[in-house]
């Protein structure tokens, strides 16, 4: 039973999928920290000392001075600064995943082609008969 389960895991690449999920989760945490702790502070500084995490709109209308004060009062807020950070994290994670996928996916080599001398169809260079007009081809 244990051998069958092991064969099932290996045959269906479930172990690889589980490892990919674990690594992806860790990668997302690292990139999240990169954005929040390293990328956004200089951008906030360039924009006049803005801390994106603390940007919010107070929906209660009471004008709470900080996000912490609004949370403590239980006021409803739109935390658009946190949303901006999350969007930037998503973009960076998507780009990193794109780079990883691109490094693993190799493009198939393009087979040499030529034109059929009878119908002009593009065919494989090694073809002896045209698949469109079925003419026998002269090898060049």
Using left for φ > 0, alpha for ψ between -120 and 50, and beta otherwise, residue 111 falls in: beta
For the chain, give every domain's residue range.
2-106, 109-140
State residue 140's pLDDT score: 61
pLDDT interval class at 114 (50, 70, 90) = very high
For a pLDDT cut of 70, what percent of the chain falls above it? 96
8-33 burial code (b ≥16 CB/10 A, e <16): eeeeeeeeeeeeeeeeeeeebeebbe
State residue 110's pLDDT score: 84
Q: Which long-range contacts (CB under 8 A, 24 or more apart) does 6-11 make?
A: none
Mean pLDDT of 91-98: 84
CATH of 2-106, one of 1.10.575, 1.10.3720, 1.10.3470, 1.10.1200: 1.10.1200
pLDDT interval class at 50 (50, 70, 90) = confident
């Amino acid at each position: 039973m244990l051998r069958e389960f092991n064969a099932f895991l290996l045959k269906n690449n479930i172990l690889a999928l589980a490892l990919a999920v674990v690594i992806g989760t860790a990668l997302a945490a690292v990139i999240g920290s990169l954005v929040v702790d390293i990328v956004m502070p200089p951008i906030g500084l360039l924009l006049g000392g803005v801390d994106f995490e603390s940007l919010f709109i107070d929906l209660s209308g009471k004008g709470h001075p900080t996000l912490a004060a609004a949370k403590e009062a239980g006021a409803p807020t739109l935390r658009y600064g946190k949303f901006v950070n999350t969007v930037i994290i998503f973009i960076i994670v998507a780009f990193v995943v794109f780079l990883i996928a691109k490094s693993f996916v190799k493009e198939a080599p393009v087979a040499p082609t030529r034109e059929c001398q009878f119908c002009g169809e593009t065919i494989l260079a090694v073809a002896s008969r045209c698949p469109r007009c079925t003419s026998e081809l002269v090898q060049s």
